[in-house]
Structure 1
Amino acid sequence: MAFAYAPAPESRAVVDIAPSYGLFIDGEFREAAGGKVFKSISPSSEEVLSEVAHAGGDDVDAAVKAARTAYSSWSALPGAERGKYLFRIARIIQERSRELAVLESLDNGKPIRESRDTDLPLVAAHFFYYAGWADKLSYAGWGPDPRPLGVAGQVIPWNFPLLMLAWKVAPALACGNTVVLKPAETTPLSALFFADICRQAGLPKGVVNILTGDGSTGAELVAHPGIDKVAFTGSTEVGKAIARTVAGTDKKLTLELGGKAANIVFDDAPVDQAVEGIVNGIFFNQGHVCCAGSRLLVQESVADEVLDSLKRRMATLRVGDPLDKNTDIGAINSAEQLARITALADSGEAEGAERWAPACELPSTGFWFAPTLFTGVTQAHRIAREEIFGPVLSVLTFRTPAEAVEKANNTPYGLSAGIWTEKGSRILWMADKLRAGVVWANTFNKFDPTSPFGGFKESGFGREGGRHGLEAYLNV
Structure 2
Amino acid sequence: MRVSEILNDMDEGDAAESAAAALDWLAGHGGQFGQFIGGALTDARGGIAVANPATGAPLAMLTDATTAEADAAIAAARTAQGDWARAPASARAAHLAALAAALRSEGRRLALLTTLTTGRTLRSTLEVEMAGAAECLERHAARAALLPQTCPDSKPLGVCGLILPARFPVWALLRSAGPALAAGNTLVVSAAPQAALPALLFAEICRKAGLPAGVVNVLTETDTGAHIAGHAGIDRLVVAGPALPKLDGAEAERGRVMTEAPHGPCWFIVDAEADIEAAIADLVDAAWGRPGPATAAGLHLLVQEGIAETFHARLQHRIRQLSPGDPLSPQTDFGPLTSPDDIGRLKALVESAREDGEVFQPDMDITERDIFPPTLVTGLSPASPAMQAEDPGPVLLSKTFRTADEAVQMVNAAAPRPAASLWSESLTTAFAIAPKLTAGTVWINAVNPTDPNVRSALEDTHAMDFLRPKSAPVADVAPDTLPPDTNASGMDDPATAISAARKAQSLKFTSKTRK
TM over 0.5: yes
Q: 1:417, 1:289 → 2: CA distance?
A: 9
Structure 2 matches for 1:35-74, cutoff 5 A?
35=45, 37-74=47-84
- Aligned with 2:433: secondary structure? helix
2:251 matched to 1:220?
no
Matched, 1:159 2:167: yes
Structure 2 contact 267–301 (Cα < 8 Å) conserved? yes
Report deviation, 1:471.
Answer: 2.9
SS at match of 2:421: strand
- 1:363 matched to 2:367: yes
2:492 — aligned with what?
A: none
One-letter code aligned to 1:31? D
- Is 1:298 aligned to 2:303, yes or no? yes
Structure 1, residues 180-220: CA drift from partner, whole Å, max 9, x if none?
A: 011222231111111111111111010000001212x5121
Pairing partner for 1:327 from 329, 332, 338? 332
| Letter matched to residue 133 of structure 2 | V
2:193 is the counterpart of 1:193: no
The answer to whether residue 246 in structure 2 is matched with residue 241 in structure 1 is: yes
Maintained 8 Å contact 2:37/2:72: yes
Query: Residue in 2 aligned with 1:30?
Result: 42
Determine the structure 2 residue equivalent to 1:458.
Answer: none
User: Counterpart of 1:209 in 2: which secondary structure?
Assistant: strand
Matched with 2:318 is 313
Query: What's the CA shift for 1:319?
Result: 0.9
1:287 and 1:167 map into 2 onto residues whose CA distance is 14
Q: Secondary structure at the match of 1:318?
A: coil
**Comparing 68-77 and 113-122, the one that deviates more:** 113-122
Cα drift, residue 175 of structure 1: 0.7
The correspondence for 2:416, drawn from 408, 413, 418, is: 413
* 2:472 equivalent to 1:465: no
TM-score (norm 2): 0.84
Matching residue within 206, 211, 217 for 1:209:
217
Task: List runs of 5+ in structure 1 lacking aligned partners.
Answer: 455-463
Give the deviation of 1:292 after TM superposition: 5.5
In the TM superposition, residue 144 of structure 1 has moved relative to its aligned partner by: 2.5
More relative contact order in 1 or in 2 (CA 8 Å, sep 6+)? 2
Pick aligned residue for 1:124 from 116, 129, 134 = 134
| Aligned counterpart, 1:340 | 345
**Residue of structure 2 in register with 1:353 after alignment:** 357
* Aligned 8 A contact 1:317 1:328 in 2: yes
SS of 1:170's partner is helix
Q: Aligned equivalents of 1:290 and 1:280: distance in 2?
A: 10
| Higher alpha-carbon deviation: 382-391 or 434-443 | 382-391
What amino acid does structure 2 have at the position aligned with 1:187? A
Q: CA RMSD in A?
A: 2.2
d(CA) in 2 for partners of 1:62 and 1:253? 23
Kindly provide the amino acid, as one letter, of the partner of residue 281 in structure 1. Answer: A
Give me the whole-angstrom Cα distance separating, in 2, the residues matched to 1:22 and 1:102. 21
Distance 1:288 1:144 in 2: 34
Does the residue aligned with 2:49 lie in a helix, a strand or coil? strand
From the superposition, tell whether residues 242 and 422 of structure 1 become closer, same or farther in structure 2 (CA, over 3 Å): farther
Superposed CA offset, 1:317-375 (max 9, x none) = 111100111111111001122222222222212x22111012211124x3110111001
Find the residue that maps to 1:155 and give its secondary structure. Answer: strand
Partner of 2:337, secondary structure, is coil
Cα displacement string for residues 158-195 of structure 1 (whole angstroms, at most 9, x for unaligned residues): 11111111111111101110000112222311111111
The whole-number CA distance in structure 2 between the counterparts of 1:250 and 1:299 is: 42
CA distance in 2, matches of 1:240, 1:97: 31
1:413 to 1:290, Cα distance in 2 relative to 1, 3 A? farther
2: CA distance, partners of 1:28 / 1:413: 41
Deviations 1:86-105 (A, max 9, x none): 11111111112222221111
Q: How big is each residue's C-alpha offset from its partner over 1:199-248, in whole Å with a ceiling of 9 and x where there is no partner?
A: 11111010000001212x5121112100000101212xx32734747235
Deviation string 1:110-168 (CA, Å, 9 cap, x unpaired) is: 1111212332123222212111111112454xx43322100000011111111111111
Report the 3-state secondary structure (helix = DSSP H, G, I; strand = E; otherwise coil) of the residue aligned with 1:222: coil
Which segments of 5 or more consecutive residues in structure 2 lack a partner in the other structure?
Answer: 1-8, 470-515
SS of the residue 2:220 aligns to: coil
Give the SS at the match of 1:472. Answer: helix
Distance 1:271 1:339 in 2: 33
Q: Is the 8 A contact 2:111 2:125 kept in 1?
A: yes
Tell me which moved more, 4-13 or 21-30: 4-13
For 1:48 and 1:228, the matched residues in 2 are separated by: 37
CA contact (8 A) 2:298 2:393 kept: no
Q: 1:136 is paired with a residue of what secondary structure?
A: helix
Greater displacement, 172-181 / 441-450: 441-450
Contact kept, 8 Å, 2:106 with 2:205, in 1: the verdict is no
TM-score (norm 1): 0.90
Tell which deviates more after alignment, 274-283 or 288-297.
288-297
Match of 1:171 among 176, 179, 191: 179
Note the C-alpha offset of 1:383: 2.4
Instruction: Please tell me whether residue 400 in structure 1 is matched to residue 392 in structure 2.
Output: no
Residue identity (%): 34
- How much has 1:300 moved relative to structure 2? 0.6
Q: Rg bigger for which structure?
A: 2
In structure 2, the partner of 1:461 is none
Equivalent of residue 438 in structure 1, options 432, 437, 441: 441
Matched, 1:258 2:263: yes
Amino acid at match of 1:405: V
Question: 3-state DSSP class of the match of 1:182?
Answer: strand
Does structure 1 conserve the Cα–Cα contact (< 8 Å) formed by 2:159 and 2:186?
yes
